[in-house]
Structure 1
Amino acid sequence: MESRFVSRRLPDNVNRIVSRFPEEVQDFFLEMISAERSVQTIANYAYDFDLFFSFLESSGKTLEQTDARLLKRFFRTVENGYERTVRVKLPRRDARTGEVRDEWVERKHFRINSQSGKQRKQASLRSLFRYLVKTGVLSRDPMEEYEDASLKARRRKKVPVFLTREEAARLISAVDAYHRQKGVKSAGWMEARDLAVILLFLSTGVRVSELVDLDMTSVQADGDSWRIIVTGKGGKQRVLMLNTKASEALRRYLAMRPETEDNALFLNKLKRRISRKGVSEIVKKMVRMAGLPPKAAAISPHKLRHTLATLLLMNGENLRVVQEILGHSSIQTTQIYTHVINTEKDQALSRLERLL
């Protein structure tokens, strides 16, 4: 009988995935839970390992038989994208009784393997094999052998995509326009929610995972202003003050928020905690409604985080302050935004006009 891995900290779909792993790998997840790694981090490890163990099974190999050559085959197999089958629990409303019940649905997704995705999969397996060697399950670390024999990929620095002030203003205005257009049926509180979500992204730079994890207790009134307590990577908390516009939007949403037993700050249409995908869909709808230019057409919640960081630096804010607002553990991560803001470079190019 298959052992059932169950942790109350993890969603059911992640517990189901971990249950399929060898017992010693399940122990690795118990260590991560004990170390208070975030739910999203643990889920990412589960998804990466699921790909790897599916590959091992299809290759007729075991964990103990893994070597540098097999790892190279795995990374090459998923390099240009891969299909992932996931089971998700979705609430379904009975059309006759109106009762809402959870139902497991199997879905297939094709995922593009970005540069950061490739690096994360390598980091995930590196952590796993180090743990297995440390605990005596394996006598050698195949990831070390793989990395010693592999050519180092060139790191390509990309300038982060962000919205200008004018584009950000258009995105905010798009919320009202979207809910006023003919054919859109949504409760008034959902419009208030969408505006609060967009303004929180643009005003605080929270990650989408941080936003969906906000509870009613994460909000603190401070006179006419509001603060939110954000739990970031590694369980680190930071307190962020909302500007007047974001405070007013949140106040309006809270006044209209439906009564529910769910303690989540932001709800979906079934009055349960909104998902990452649900938040991403809100942003996509507003981006389309705003009619933003091609560069901004693929704006995601994370790109709104880029927008806040860039606008803060353009406004002359200190890099260390921006680091604290974003919750970066290293200032080097924050420095990527300085590639966009370079006043001396702009002035040099402007002075060139005199010579032409």
Structure 2
Amino acid sequence: MEDYEEEREAFLIWMKDAGYTPYTQKSYLADVRQFLASLGGKKLEIVKKLHVVSYLTSVRESGVSDATRNRKHASVTCFFKALIELELYSVNPAAGIKKSKTDKNREPVYLDENDLQRFLSAVEGKYKGRNLAVFLLMSYMGLRVGEVHTLNMNDYNVERRSLRVFGKGRKWRNVPVPEDVAPFLDQALEERLDPWRSKEEAMFISQKGRRLSIRGIQQIAAQTFERFQAQVPVAHRRPYSSHKLRHSFATMLLRKGADLRTVQELLGHSSIQTTTVYTHITSREKEEAMSRLQIRIPENTLQH
């Protein structure tokens, strides 16, 4: 039975060198381990496209979403790409396999401005200042959970009221800090917890004195959403998560008439196609548009 230790080690070194976040490294490695376990001990040199498709099919049949299946495909593709670049292998059997079609027409779950206000009012507890700043960065500046997690103290330019964000695809972008958000961010930095290590640069520190983790942010959001929906019957509660705050930001901007290209830049999307998912229209807006039509039908055409 092969354990592929050398290849897994090589993949990890490659990801670290390429600047992947620890979170991405962990999830890609987990996917690759699952794929390697599915090979039944075959040597990697003889792995063909068929083996990769077979793995992805079994993953799909286990009940995961198309998006998760696509992520696992990306992990395996990346794994072979790394091995080729490190000159361990010469063929990528995962290349050229089609992605699963995800449901393009599904509207993103988001909060409108009134809901956002109520959500922010539900932030409470000992670390309220820090948590409020975290949620404001996501809901009024569109940051991803991972981006909030990687923020360092020197990424915030107080004079210019601008935040330097390290996003997906290892790309930096500058996001203006809205005037109303700045005081909350300033306060959170004033109240910043003492880090366990003196050289810790993280902007947000956990109660254990370390950089606030992605999982930590997600848990704080889940608890806040629970309080936010406390009065809503369980059957009618919506599947909110920290990422929905970013959806809310994008939706609000577009509703205020922001240009799609600008929203793409602010969100750090590499493709404008990704941004178009936020151009969802509500039934109310459809009805309003239809009501503007001047409908003139010749008399006596209605059959009785």
TM-score (norm 2): 0.81
Kindly provide the CA deviation profile for residues 41-67 of structure 1, in whole angstroms up to 9, marking residues without a partner as x: 3333212111112323xx243323433
Q: 1:44 aligns with which of 27, 31, 37?
A: 27
Amino acid at match of 1:203: Y
1:118 aligns with 2:56: no
Q: Secondary structure at the match of 2:174?
A: strand
Residue 126 to residue 170, structure 1, CA distance change in 2 (3 Å): same
1:228 aligns with 2:175: no
1:128 aligns with 2:95: no
Aligned residues: 287
| Contact 1:200 1:206 survives alignment (8 Å) | yes
What aligned pairs does 1:1-356 form with structure 2 within 5 A after superposition?
21-56=4-39, 59-81=40-62, 113-130=64-81, 132=83, 137-138=88-89, 140-143=91-94, 147=97, 153-157=100-104, 158-175=106-123, 178-179=124-125, 187=126, 190-222=127-159, 226-260=161-195, 261=198, 262-291=200-229, 297-340=238-281, 345-350=286-291
Residue 54 to residue 281, structure 1, CA distance change in 2 (3 Å): same
Segments of 5+ residues of structure 2 without an aligned counterpart are 297-304
Cα distance between partner residues in 1 of 2:90 and 2:173: 41
Cα distance between partner residues in 1 of 2:90 and 2:134: 49
Amino acid at match of 1:26: E
Identity %: 33
Cα distance between partner residues in 1 of 2:251 and 2:58: 37
Shift of 1:302: 1.4
Amino acid at match of 2:47: T
Amino acid at match of 1:242: V
Cα RMSD between the aligned structures? Answer: 3.1
Cα distance between partner residues in 1 of 2:248 and 2:82: 38
Amino acid at match of 1:230: V
Shift of 1:133: 5.6
Shift of 1:344: 7.4
Segments of 5+ residues of structure 1 without an aligned counterpart are 1-19, 82-111, 180-186
Q: Secondary structure at the match of 1:143?
A: coil
TM-score (norm 1): 0.70
Residue 281 to residue 134, structure 1, CA distance change in 2 (3 Å): closer
Kindly provide the CA deviation profile for residues 193-223 of structure 1, in whole angstroms up to 9, marking residues without a partner as x: 1111111111111110010111111222127
| Contact 1:310 1:341 survives alignment (8 Å) | no
Greater RCO structure (CA 8 Å; 6+ sep)? 2
Shift of 1:164: 1.0
